[in-house]
Amino acid sequence: MGSLRDIENRIKSTKKTSQITRAMQMVSASKLNRAELNAKAFVPYMEKIQEVAGAIAAGTDTEHPMLINRPVKKTAYVVITADRGLCGAYNSNIIRAVSKAIEKRHASKDDAIIFAIGRLGSEFFLNRGYNVIDSVIGLSDHPSFAEIKDIANKAVGMFADGTYDEIYMYYTHYINVISNKVMEEKVLPLTDIGQDAPASTTYEFEPSGEAILKVLLPQYAESLIYGALLESKASEHASSMTAMQSATDNAGELIDSLTLQYNRARQASITQEITEIIGGVAALE
């Protein structure tokens, strides 16, 4: 059992830590509200652009390269993590999923190309010798499309140029405040986009359907990446809020335990002093 001064100092430092984690929990909660609204507000746009692109693809005899499977030699991975920790297993779950997928699909790291959105994912794969050809670090808590436009455009453009043959995206799907899920989504090629859409035989396209798809499909692929980022940000703030709440609760339990320990030590000290006084009086008699 430590001295009374040591226990008292631990109680004070734990209380200060608890105040910090409680403040961080409240900040994350306020950020989560807006991030959740942003993610939900983007869903109708994604559904509509998917519907339009699917209808055109189904009603047009086109050989657009983004709609065609080709032999896979290299694969690109868009990995969305956070710039900082203190959000539970949010980052480690994404990194673990990507690492396992690469090990399963490729015999060599050279066959995997990484586009990293977030500092932790970028640093992890760079430090382990992966080919991280582009990254975005320091995104705002509520990012706009302009912040990731360059990396999204580069990822889609390199696929069109034949640098690699498919793109997978890994992000955290936001379910609710206490629940999220790591998602693997194939961004390109878009082989399933027109399968469920009815053929648009009653429509005439001006310009041609091929010309529309040439512009629309890259925008759709880039929108998939942005939509995943919005969901990831909501999941990040929710994970941070939950982690800080757990830290605050644990600090409270530790304070209670230390307070009990302090009271016992203080009681033992008082008892010892009383015993010494009684012993001294008895010796004088």
Active-site residue list: 87
Helix (H) or strand (E) run with residue 273 in it? helix 209-284
Output DSSP code: residue 199. Answer: P
- Check if the beta carbon of residue 217 is closer than 8 Å to that of residue 153: no
**Cα 114 from chain centroid?**
16
CB 75 within 8 A of CB 165: yes
The region that residue 125 occupies, defined by phi over 0 for left and psi between -120 and 50 for alpha, beta otherwise, is alpha
In degrees, rounded to 5, the angle at the alpha carbon of residue 160 between the alpha carbons of residues 154 and 163 is 75
